[in-house]
Structure 1
Amino acid sequence: MSLSDFTLIGKDDLYEHVYLLYSGSKLNNDLGYYPSKADKFVIPIGELDIEIEQSKSGVYAMHETGTTGFYLWKVSPLFAEWMLYHKHPLSDMFNGCGVVVELGSGVAGILASTLSTRCEVFLATDQRHLLKLLAKNIGSNRQPKSNIKIVEFDWENIELGVSNLEATLEKRQVDFVLAFDTIYNSFLLDHFIAATKTLCNSETIVVVGIQLRDEDVLLEFLQKMLDNSFQCYHVDQEWLSPGLKNGYGIYCFKLCS
């Protein structure tokens, strides 16, 4: 199995693809995060119960540097469940891989806590003010966690982020880049794509999961990825779990060789 099992999308296909995706999907009306009134709660992912601590005080204190990372967004648990308990081309390629970097892990650390068992090294990255709680959540859910590294990587300061990653990776190449619910406004797109591209070689697979909200933002994102020499593959509904089939999109990207 390979990325060719999914649908390759070219520049001429974008408008039709986005139109069909939105018109054929039952969209979620909520914002996409878990509306828990408690700072601590448990999320079931298949056979796993993942303990999450969020910080409402952090949301109010950090409004100038970004608050989305303080919440748990719904697409990450759905993706983790799909990767762990369903057979499809992406799980086959991922299982047993070397280095995985997640961009925008947030404080929850869902993917690090669950998918790190399937790879050699998992790097969870985000802005500095999120890392302490991220480390705490990963520590609560993944023991031992010796193959998980937590690294500061702010997309608006790529040089520092890349330096941090290089010091951690020690010249190892990145096999997978994961990013979930990071595509939600136009301002961040160029920063995100530039950060992503610095991590990739011709074999790196970038997996992006989104909740379907503003179709113009998705269209702009896909256009920019293609303009930056990425091939774009859409994971068709036939491969997705029931939870991902309505209101979400999973894309895989690879630099053109």
Structure 2
Amino acid sequence: MNTRLAEFLAIGEEVTDAEEEAFLLFSQEIPSSNLGFVDSRATTVDVTIRGGEYSIHQSPTLLSSSRAGGTTGAVLWKITPHFAEWISSPSNPLRTHGFLSSDSVVTELGCGISALVALAVAPTVQHYIATDQEYVRRLFRTNVDANAAVNAPSAKQRGSKAKGKSATKKQSAGIPTASNITFTTLDWETDQPGLLKGCIESETSGRDTLHNNDNDVEEEDLGFDLLLSCDCIYNEALVAPFVRTCAEISRLRPAYQPSEESDSQSRRPPTVCIIAQQQRSPDVFETWLRETLREFRVWRLSDEALGDGLKGGNGYLVHLLMVREKN
């Protein structure tokens, strides 16, 4: 596992200094994207992801309301389709190195109403838990129900060709295939990440005690293979609870130990965190990175790993985090 993970981490450059990284990234020319909405006035936005046509329902009224706790998740943001395209691609390095597969259980922080990342990823993983505030729930579920069949052919990646054909038939019949997507609320300041998997419905919960590398005794696995977050870093007040939540979720699995000489068959793989964000404020970014470096080792993913939509110069950043051992 460690050898494979070390090879995987070569897809990026390790970051060790927050101030230096912020200066490097924000001294370059950044395209103007305003605040980063796709269209903050439309009630429906059409998006194409890997050839699939999604119709995303959103709420301009909610966005402009004075709701306590914020409303930024009420509409679709520009980075989200690019991120969904990248993370769901068969050539994504997470997939080619085996860290995202049909056995994976994935969680997302700050998913927003679009459900776009969940819809793109869920057909190729075991289960996807999307989290946000309660106001997001209704539109998130609306978008899952309206678009669940779009990516059905990708189910081939979850198993045999026969399964892929079955999924295609479901798509043509208009039957949603996103039963492995769960939405739940998660307050970064008060909720316990260790309880997240408890929200998975009973008919799938039996699979959530994941493989324990053929040990005779299986232990309950409360952790996740992959933690995703797309454009949640825009406010300094949210940085500390966001980073703390990422760390608490990651520590439900073992920390990355590059010094271990042999591949341990008794340890579950560490959680890989992928944090994508639009370049806005260098001060907010530096605050996030400084806080993150206390808890994680951090790599900035290379242009080669990211592809055209997210590579440098587009105004987006993607970092990979591996949690440190707790002091």
1:13-36 CA-partner distances (Å, limit 9, x unpaired): 332222222223433341111125
2:116 aligned residue: 110
Give the letter for the 1:157 counterpart.
Answer: T
Among 130, 147, 153, the alignment partner of 2:186 is 153
User: 1:132, 1:149 → 2: CA distance?
Assistant: 13
Count of paired positions: 253
CA distance in 1, matches of 2:305, 2:78: 19
Once superposed, what is the RMSD of the aligned Cα atoms?
A: 2.0
Give yes or no for contact 2:42–2:60 (8 Å, CA) kept in 1. no
Matched, 1:249 2:317: yes
**Which whole-Å CA distance do the structure 1 matches of 2:249 and 2:20 have between them?**
30
* Contact 2:47 2:53 (C-alpha < 8 Å) held by counterparts: yes
More helix by share: 1
Q: CA deviation at 1:144?
A: 1.1
Q: Distance in 1 between matches of 2:316 and 2:242?
A: 19
Report if aligned partners of 1:152, 1:164 keep a CA contact under 8 Å in 2.
Answer: no
Alignment deviations for residues 102-124 of structure 1 (CA, whole Å, 9 cap, x no partner) = 00011101111111122111001
Task: Tell me the alpha carbon deviations over residues 154-213 of structure 1, each in whole angstroms, 9 at most, x when there is no partner.
Answer: 213223x65354343664321111001000111001111121122112200111000001
Could you tell me whether the CA contact under 8 Å between 1:3 and 1:89 is conserved in 2? Answer: no
Report SS of the residue matched to 2:243.
helix
Superposed CA offset, 1:231-250 (max 9, x none): 10100123222221220000
Kept in 1, the 8 Å contact 2:41–2:60? The answer is: no
**1:139-150 alignment to 2 at 5 Å?**
139-142=145-148, 143-150=176-183
Aligned-residue sequence identity (percent) comes to 28
Segments of 4+ in structure 1 off by > 4 A?
A: none
Please report the TM-score for the alignment, with normalisation by the length of structure 1.
0.90
Which segments of 5 or more consecutive residues in structure 2 lack a partner in the other structure? 1-6, 149-175, 209-219, 256-269
Equivalent of 1:177, from 223, 227, 239? 227
Structure 2 match to 1:95:
101
Among candidates 195, 203, 220, match of residue 287 of structure 2: 220
Structure 2: how far apart are the matches of 1:56 and 1:162?
A: 34
In 2, are the aligned partners of 1:27 and 1:212 still within 8 Å (CA)?
Answer: no
SS of 1:94 mapped into structure 2: coil
Q: What TM-score does the superposition give when structure 2 sets the normalisation length? A: 0.72
Q: Residue 128 of structure 1: which of 113, 129, 134 is its match?
A: 134
Give the match's secondary structure for 2:87: helix
1:123-174 deviations in Å (ceiling 9; x for gaps): 0111111111101101111121121111111213223x65354343664321
The structure with the greater share of residues assigned to strand is 1
| Cα contact 1:116–1:147 (8 A) shared by 2 | yes
Aligned partners of 1:28, 1:206: CA distance in 2, in Å? 27
Tell me, which stretches of 5 or more residues in structure 1 are unaligned? none
**How far is the alpha carbon of 1:53 from its aligned partner?**
0.4
Q: Which moved more, 1:207-216 or 1:148-157?
A: 148-157
Q: Is the 8 A contact 2:84 2:117 kept in 1?
A: yes
